[in-house]
Structure 1
Amino acid sequence: MDGTLVDTEPYWMAAETPLVESFGGTWSHEQALALVGLGLEDSARIFQEAGVRMSVDAIIDHLTDEVMRQLAVTGVPFRPGARELLADLREAGIKTGLVTMSMRRMATTVVDLIDFAAFDAIVAGDDATRPKPFPDPYLQACEALGVDPAETVAIEDSPNGLRSAVASGAAVIGVPLMLSLEGAGAHAVWPTLDGRTADDLAAFHTAHHAGLAAEAAR
C-alpha cells in the first residue's frame, strides 16, 4: 500500500522525526529510508533503540494516528496508474489482494476512499503471522483469495516487500519510489504503473513462468 498504491511514505517520515526528537534523540533521512517496507513492530523496536521510551504498541498507534491525521487533512495521494490498474483488474474479473505492513484500520481507511470495490482481501500488519520480509503476509493473502502463489503477480516498491513476495512464490514486479530495488530479487522492474493494464500483468506472468520452465529444462 504505502509507496505502491499511495504515496504515504513522506507522511510516515514526517511523523517519525518529531517522535524521536521529543525524547531528545535525532532521526536522519537515511534512518527513515531503512524502515520503508519493514514491519511496524520491527520499526518500533528501532525507535526504542533511538531513545523513544514508549512501548512497541504505543509507538505503532502514535505513528499510525499521525499518518491518518495527515491523510485526513491532505487526502490520499494515489500513485500514478495504481488506481486505474486496479479498476482494470476488477473489470477483467481478476482477484486482488492488498498486502501491507500498515495497521488494518489505516488500510481500510485508504481502501474505503477508492470509489469501487478494489480488493477481495486485505492482509495488514496486525494480521500477519510474521511481517515482511517473511513470506507470511503474501501466503496469507493467497489463502484468503483461494489461489496458489504461483498463480499471482505481486507489485512492490521496497526491498523488504520484494523479498516477502518473491519468497512466497509469486511473480514479482518492482515499481521503485524512494529506494533502489537493485538486487532485491524482483523478476521485473517497471518505472511506473501509469498506462499499465491487466493484459500487461497477464503477459508478464506468462513470460515469467515460461522463463522458469525453460530454466528447468536446461
Structure 2
Amino acid sequence: MLSPRAPAPIPRRRLLSISAPSPGRISIGDSNRISFSRGGEKKRGRISSADTPARMATDSALTKLAPLEAILFDIDGTLCDSDPIHFCAFRELLQQIGFNDGIPITEEFYSANISGGHNDDLARSLFPDMDHDKAMQFMDDKEAFFRKLAPGRLKAVDGLHDLCRWIEGYNLKRAAVTNAPRANAELMLSLLGLTDFFPVLVIGSECDRAKPFPDPYLKALELIGASPDHTFIFEDSASGIRAGVAAGVPVVGLTTRNPAKALSDAGASLLVNDFQDPKLLSVLEELKPVTENGQA
C-alpha cells in the first residue's frame, strides 16, 4: 500500500461546505467610480488613511501598472471555489485504491500536497512506485469524476460577474490560464457562463512547461498581445503565484482556500478575500484605463 507522508497541520477553512455568494456587487456609477455594496450599505472602493501601510504595499507592484491593459485569470479556486469538489473526488478515489492504507486523506493533506498541482507531477508524487501510465490513468479517472460532480455544485467566487462586466466596460484584454485539463477548464467556464468572455484559454499541459513555470502566462501574454508592464494576474495557489511572478507579472492572490502565508511567501503582491474585497476595488480605481472620451 502507498502511505503518503503526513503534512504539518495547516489552519484553513473547511473544504466540504460550498457557501453561496453573499450579497454585494461592484457597480459603476455616473462618475465611473467603483463602489462596493453589501447588505444595502455602500462603500467607495478607496482605502482610508488608516490603511496606509497596505496601500503602500500595493502601490509599488500594482498601481505602477496604470493604465491597466489586461488581466489574466487562473480558473480552479480563482474564478470558482472548485477545491471542495476536487477534494471529494480525490478522497473517494484514493480510498478506493487503498491509498494511505485506506484511510481517507485529510483537507490538510490535500492543501499541502495536491491543490494547484499539475496532474503529471501529482501522479509522480502521489504514486512514486506505480507505473506512470497507470498513475496517469488514475488522474484521468479523477478528472472524469470531477466533471460528473461539478454541475450543480460549482459556484463563482463572490463578485466575479460584476468584475467581468467592469472588464468588458473598459475593453480590457483577458485570458484564462490553468493547469486543469482542457475538458475541465471548458466545463468550468461553461458552467460559470464565461465561455465567450475569455477569447484565449491556455492549458498548462499544452505548453512546454506547466505552472509553476512561467510558460503558460507568457503564452497568454503573447496570444492576447499584452504587456506585462500593464497586466496583473489573479491566482489562488502558491504554484500559480510562482508562475506569475516568474513571468514578470504582479499577482493578486485570492485566499479562497489556501493559507494566506503560503500565497504571500510565493510572491503575491496583494491578498484579497474575493472580487468584492475593498482592497481590490481600491486598486482597480487607481488602475482603470482612460476611455476614448478622455475620462477614466
1:202 to 1:147, Cα distance in 2 relative to 1, 3 A: farther
Q: Which amino acid aligns with 1:14?
A: C
Selected match of 1:81 from 142, 147, 159: 159
Deviation, 1:51, is 6.5
SS across alignment from 1:182: helix
Partner of 1:215: none
How far did 1:49 drift? Answer: 3.2
Distance 2:192 2:132 in 1: 37
Between stretches 100-109 and 118-127, larger displacement belongs to 118-127
Give, in whole Å, the separation in 2 of the partners of 1:89 and 1:154. 13
Q: Paired residue for 1:16?
A: 90
- 1:130 — aligned with what? 209
Do structure 1's residue 141 and structure 2's residue 215 form an aligned pair?
no
Rate the CA distance shift 1:201–1:124 in 2: closer, same or farther, 3 A.
farther
Task: Report which of the two has the higher share of helix.
Answer: 1
Q: TM (normalized to structure 1)?
A: 0.83
- The aligned counterpart of 1:100 is 178
2:237 is equivalent to residue 158 of structure 1: yes
TM-score of the pair, normalised by structure 2: 0.63
Q: What amino acid is the match of 1:191?
A: N
Tell me if 1:177 matches 2:256.
Answer: yes
TM-aligned CA distance change 1:89 to 1:203, over 3 Å: same
Larger radius of gyration: 2
Contact 1:156–1:175 (8 Å) recurs in 2: yes
Amino acid corresponding to residue 286 of structure 2 in structure 1 = A
**Contact 2:155 2:192 survives alignment (8 Å):** no
Once the two structures are superposed, residues 112-160 of structure 1 have per-residue CA deviations (whole angstroms, 9 ceiling, x without a partner) of: 2344521121112332321111111111111111122222110111111
Structure 1 stretches lacking a partner, 5+ long: 207-218
What's the Cα RMSD here? 2.5
Partner Cα distance (2:111, 2:274) in 1: 20
Instruction: Return the alpha-carbon distance in structure 1 between the equivalents of residues 208 and 284 of structure 2.
Output: 28
Contact preservation (8 Å) 1:104, 1:125: no
Matched residue, 2:66: none
